[in-house]
Amino acid sequence: MIDQDFILKSYNSKVERGSVKWSSPSNIALVKYWGKRKNQIPENPSISFTLSNCKTITEVTYTKKKSTEFSFEVFFEGEKNEAFKPKIQTFFERIESYVPFLRDYHFNIETSNTFPHSSGIASSASGMSALALCLMSIEEDLGVDYADDYFNRKASFLARLGSGSACRSIEGELVVWGKNKSTESSDLFGVRFDGDIHSNFKDYQDAILLVDKGEKQVSSTLGHKLMYGHPFAKERFLQAHDNLDKLKDILSSGDLKEFIKIVESEALTLHAMMMTSMPYFILMKPNTLEIINRIWKFREENNSNICFTLDAGANVHVLFPKAEESKVYDFIKSELVAYCQNGHYICDSVGNGAKRL
């Protein structure tokens, strides 16, 4: 499919008002997206587990209007929110040619997260995917009839233009984004991983340890830009392709030891890219490293399959098979919680994607 396939050509502009509501999850990448080209095209493919509990719930009410300016208000957790508006304005500008009714209506966007706002958890994946899905449902209200497949693809295509990783939040349980030789995928939208998934990876657990709940010093958007002219960029992009090929086989064979190697190496490589860009920066905190070392020790001593991954921040995602759930939570409570800000962590697991409410 190409960009043009996502342009909405005609719709019933007589519809006066309506309301749609979606819940959309966050996701955690196993092979990381870091570096992009113009129009939110990723430099390398990525794959993620869709999460289940960390979600954004968004309701959009639309009312026909006369003026041709974009018009919208945002309410976050019940309160009017000005801070989110510029990002949504940019999103509307980027997607306008695919969703031409944006100027015909005023939108009231009411949104809330199931996870604490100041948790350092990126809400852009769940937030932008929920908004994209609402716009897709409005398209349907305006009389466009979509097959499920196309609906999800266009929702993911639009979400990508809001935030790259958001395109991996529409479906579950594993989603691939970015062209590569081993899976059916596209640079324009995320698709469900089409390979076999061994039972070891069913219902995989993710305990998110909140090490630092503050705003991070360097945004992902800036971090992506620093991959231009980065001395290791070329090798890194090739490595991501290679890791995705390997992960495809691992997901089908159920080899947990090999899974751990790829996932931890991807997390550390992501942070190594940050530390070797110009300007360089470090998003890990001393407690991030403390937790990583304790995970390694616990794994060694208990013959466990626990491992970690990181996104662009200090928080640690602790990944483990369902079968180890009680053992790992005992470990988290007795040892790791001491390194979390105010002892906070979130229990999550792999989920099935967004839902219309």
Q: Where does this chain bind ligand DP6 (CB under 6 A)?
A: 29, 32-34, 40, 46, 122, 124, 163-165, 220-221, 224, 270, 311-312
Written as one letter, the residue type at 58 is T
**Smallest distance from the beta carbon of 225 to ligand DP6, in angstroms?**
9
Q: Residue 102 or residue 159: which is nearer to ligand DP6 going by CB?
A: 159
As measured in angstroms, the least distance from the Cβ of 290 to ligand DP6 is 21
Q: Please state at what angle helix 233-253 crosses helix 256-275, rounded to 10 degrees.
A: 160
- From the CB of 28, what's the least distance to ligand DP6, in Å? 7
Q: How far is the CB of 252 from ligand DP6 (least distance, A)?
A: 22
Distance CA 184, CA 57 (A): 30
Burial of 118 (0-12, 13-18, 19+ CB in 10 A): exposed
Say which amino acid occupies 259.
F
Pick the closer one to ligand DP6 by CB: 218 or 337: 218
Which CB atom, from 46 or from 304, has the smaller least distance to ligand DP6? Answer: 46
Contact criterion met (CB below 8 Å) for 251 and 194: no
Amino acid at 234: K
Query: Is 33 or 98 the residue whose CB approaches ligand DP6 more closely?
Result: 33
Q: Are 109 and 75 in contact (CB under 8 A)?
A: yes
Closest to ligand DP6 by CB, 104 or 173:
173
| Ranges assigned E (strand) in 7-45 | 17-31, 36-37, 41-42
**The sheet that has 205-209: what strands, in order across it?**
307-309, 316-320, 205-209, 345-349
Between 32 and 299, name the residue whose CB sits nearer to ligand DP6. 32
Task: State the Cα angle at 278 between 274 and 281, rounded to 5°.
Answer: 40
CB of 315 to ligand DP6, least distance (A): 11
DSSP 209-260: E-S--SPPSS-HHHHHHTTTT-TTHHHHHHHHHHHHHHHHHHHHHT-HHHHH
For the CB of residue 141, give the shortest distance to ligand DP6 in the complex, in Å. Answer: 28
> Measured from the CB atom, is 23 or 163 closer to ligand DP6?
163
- Least Å from the CB of residue 178 to ligand DP6: 10
- CA 293 – CA 139 distance, rounded (Å): 49
Residue nearest to ligand DP6 (CB): 164
